[in-house]
């Protein structure tokens, strides 16, 4: 995983702006600490930061391709193409020369052979930019699920782009601005495809291509989920899921640097780790698979089940480690770790915005840092719950009958993020109205078959919403937090061949034994101990240590003692005082722990980014 950025300006001479390019590149250091590169021409500049994973000696970028003796294209690429070896053989047979073993060169030669249509042949996770010298055109392409981030800002004479907003904001012509629309994106937990929290700054949508030339900017979708009739019986379906998943893991354990797997003790991460360990043994590898887990200090001892978390993770992690014989490390995170200013600030810088659930993000940051001391690549179980129907909202009528994004109902109508904000600002934001509008828009995208039953239609809607909206939070969290310490995360469950197949498996077959993720359980039942195989879904844990809530409240008190705190004008001071006068959570006035966490994070974010507020 690497970092890319660049500028296209048809009315400037970019060769005179090398200092600007250096400033943009510097913001992506953590995404690519191994090396950097810059290619600059009068109207296009491409910047690159490398995290070397495949072909450590080769693969330097930006990478150039000639047509005859003339420069034809320049590539800025980040990602992993898991079928690059097959594509390399095909391209070689078509006469393309190769100087490296890297997948980067395969992407470049594929573009030279097939143009933008090359993306339809790529199996993997990627984001890349091609400056086509022949056409004076920039092409921005992002993978089907947006595993790799890519942002852009249209300008009067071109575009500025980068892997993260910070690289674009480093350009001196870009003003950092937050308006009501951006704040809604920050708070609503209902993402608008292509939007960001910064005014004017856009995200390349997953499965889309952006082209920028002298005539302007165009956008095209090259991939989306489609409804197809499923003809396989249950036995064939189970066998096909296992085959597709096994092939995905086989391809994704290829690495020239140390690789590991994350373990939560749940079905998803355990299945990936078990497959990886089994495949490595069959391939004759001598090394044991490394695994990592995260645990809050004292969590198992004080654990209390709630609506989302029925069991603690640690006992199931231990069972999997014994079962697989992995080389395991448990990273224990204390409340002191969770509220450490350096860690919380690092998370905000990584995300370029505040986030709900500060303890989850900070613990993941601590975990990623510990992993990076030993491994550069980590396999995860992300995307399984969205695809196979693991979340509670797939199985509870209260969720199924609601007319909004199902994950919003977990708040039980409390103000999850806005509880401490100024009441007039909250009214102007109208977050519920924004969520409702995004929900209606999302539903118009869902593909259906004419013969779908009402239940099948609803489950297809939930699967689509989960895969195209909720998964955005999961993948962004994985990418931005892990890349803050230069750790590459891989997600075998997001293999688009597997997703296309399972998306169209009837719901009755996906839960054929009446349980969540029945299909996945059946596909991997020979790999897992019974306790893990039968464990009910438990999401990424949040700390149950009461000292964390007290620490947040103490932080809020210190913030209120600072009259220059930038968040103060945005807060409802009466509500803040109600929390500080002894109410541990303020739950009786609709103020949740995430609301308190958000106020603290938002203050830090305002201090770091100093946006112009158009509220």
Question: What single DSSP character describes residue 115?
Answer: G
Closest CA to 121 of 76, 77, 87, 78: 87
Q: Residue 217: how many CA atoms within 13 Å on its side-chain side?
A: 20
The helix or strand, by DSSP H or E, that contains position 503, with its residue range, turns out to be helix 496-503
Instruction: For residue 2, indicate whether it is catalytic.
Output: yes
For residues 405 and 407, give the distance between their C-alpha atoms in angstroms, rounded to a whole number: 6
Which residues, including other chains, have CB under 8 Å from residue 72's CB and lie 6 or more apart? 65, 66, 112, 132, 133, 134
Question: What single DSSP character describes residue 511?
Answer: T
Using CA atoms in the order 289, 293, 298, 301, what is the torsion angle rounded to 10 degrees?
-70
CA 308 to chain CA centroid, nearest Å: 21
For residues 598 and 431, give the distance between their C-alpha atoms in angstroms, rounded to a whole number: 15
> 246 and 367 in contact (C-beta within 8 Å)?
no
Question: What single DSSP character describes residue 121?
Answer: G
Q: Residue 369: how many CA atoms within 13 Å on its side-chain side?
A: 14
* 3-class secondary structure, 264: coil
> 133 and 122 in contact (C-beta within 8 Å)?
no
For residue 247, give Cα distances in angstroms to 43, 53, 68, 354.
43, 20, 38, 37
> 604 and 345 in contact (C-beta within 8 Å)?
yes
> 369 and 611 in contact (C-beta within 8 Å)?
no
Q: Where are the alpha helices (DSSP H) in 283-388?
A: 299-302, 314-324, 335-338, 341-351, 358-372, 384-388
The helix or strand, by DSSP H or E, that contains position 336, with its residue range, turns out to be helix 335-338
Which residues, including other chains, have CB under 8 Å from residue 62's CB and lie 6 or more apart? 37, 38, 39, 46, 47, 48, 74, 75, 76
Between 593-609 and 546-560, two packed helices, what is the crossing angle to 10 degrees? 50
The helix or strand, by DSSP H or E, that contains position 521, with its residue range, turns out to be helix 518-524
> 286 and 404 in contact (C-beta within 8 Å)?
no
Pairing of strands 70-81, 63-67: antiparallel
> 199 and 206 in contact (C-beta within 8 Å)?
no
Q: Residue 246 has which token pair?
A: 């096994």
> 370 and 295 in contact (C-beta within 8 Å)?
no
> 349 and 607 in contact (C-beta within 8 Å)?
no
> 60 and 13 in contact (C-beta within 8 Å)?
no
CA 217 to chain CA centroid, nearest Å: 26
For residues 553 and 559, give the distance between their C-alpha atoms in angstroms, rounded to a whole number: 10
Question: Catalytic residue positions?
Answer: 2
């Amino acid at each position: 995983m690497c970092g890319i950025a660049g500028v296209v300006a048809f009315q400037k001479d970019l060769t005179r702006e090398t200092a600007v390019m250096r400033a943009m590149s510097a913001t992506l250091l953590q995404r690519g600490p191994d090396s950097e590169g810059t290619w600059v021409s009068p109207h296009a500049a491409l910047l690159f930061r490398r995290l070397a994973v495949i072909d450590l000696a080769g693969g330097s970028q930006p990478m150039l391709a000639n047509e005859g003796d003339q420069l034809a294209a320049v590539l800025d690429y980040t990602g992993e193409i898991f079928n690059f070896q097959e594509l390399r053989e095909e391209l070689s047979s078509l006469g393309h020369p190769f100087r490296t073993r890297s997948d980067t060169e395969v992407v470049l030669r594929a573009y030279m052979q097939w143009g933008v249509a090359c993306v339809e042949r790529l199996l993997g996770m990627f984001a890349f930019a091609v400056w086509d010298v022949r056409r004076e055109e920039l092409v921005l392409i992002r993978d089907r699920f947006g595993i790799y981030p890519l942002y852009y800002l249209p300008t009067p004479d071109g575009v500025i782009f980068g892997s993260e907003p910070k690289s674009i904001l480093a350009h001196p012509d870009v003003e950092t601005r937050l308006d009501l629309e951006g704040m809604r994106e920050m708070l609503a937990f209902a993402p608008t495809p292509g939007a960001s929290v910064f005014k004017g700054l856009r995200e390349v949508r997953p499965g889309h291509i952006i082209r920028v030339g002298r005539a302007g900017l165009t956008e095209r979708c090259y991939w989306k989920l489609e409804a197809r009739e499923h003809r396989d019986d249950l036995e064939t379906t189970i066998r096909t899921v296992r085959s597709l998943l096994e092939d995905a893991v086989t391809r994704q354990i290829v690495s020239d640097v140390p690789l590991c797997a994350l373990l939560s003790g749940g079905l998803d991460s355990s299945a990936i780790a078990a497959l990886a360990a089994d495949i490595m043994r069959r391939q004759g590898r001598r090394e044991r698979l490394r695994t990592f887990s995260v645990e809050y200090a004292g969590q198992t001892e004080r654990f209390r089940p709630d609506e989302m978390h029925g069991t603690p993770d640690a006992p199931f992690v231990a069972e999997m480690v014994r079962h697989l014989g992995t080389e395991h490390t448990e990273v224990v995170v204390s409340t002191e770790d969770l509220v450490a200013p350096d860690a919380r600030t690092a998370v905000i810088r990584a995300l370029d915005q505040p986030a709900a659930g500060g303890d989850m993000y900070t613990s993941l940051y601590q975990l990623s840092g510990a992993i990076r001391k030993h491994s550069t690549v980590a396999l995860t179980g992300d995307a399984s719950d969205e695809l196979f129907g693991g979340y509670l909202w797939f199985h509870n009528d209260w969720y199924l009958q609601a007319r909004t994004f199902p994950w919003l109902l977990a708040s039980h109508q409390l103000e999850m993020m806005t509880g401490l904000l100024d009441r007039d600002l909250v009214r102007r934001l109208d977050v519920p109205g924004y969520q409702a509008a995004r929900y209606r828009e999302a539903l118009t995208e869902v593909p259906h078959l004419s013969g779908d039953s009402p239940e099948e239609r609803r489950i297809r809607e939930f699967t689509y919403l989960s895969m195209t909206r909720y998964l955005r939070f999961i993948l962004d969290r994985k990418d931005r937090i892990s890349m803050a310490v230069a750790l590459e995360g891989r997600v075998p469950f997001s293999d688009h061949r597997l997703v296309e197949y399972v998306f169209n498996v009837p719901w009755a077959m996906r839960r054929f034994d009446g349980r969540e993720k029945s299909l996945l359980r059946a596909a991997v039942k020979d790999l897992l101990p019974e306790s893990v195989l039968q464990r009910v879904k438990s999401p990424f844990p949040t700390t149950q240590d009461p000292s964390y809530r007290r620490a947040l409240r103490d932080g809020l008190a210190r913030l209120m003692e600072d009259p220059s705190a930038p968040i103060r004008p945005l807060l409802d001071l009466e509500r803040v005082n109600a929390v500080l006068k002894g109410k541990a959570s303020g739950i009786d006035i609709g103020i949740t722990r995430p609301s308190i966490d958000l106020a603290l994070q938002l203050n830090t974010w305002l201090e770091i980014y100093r946006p112009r507020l158009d509220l």
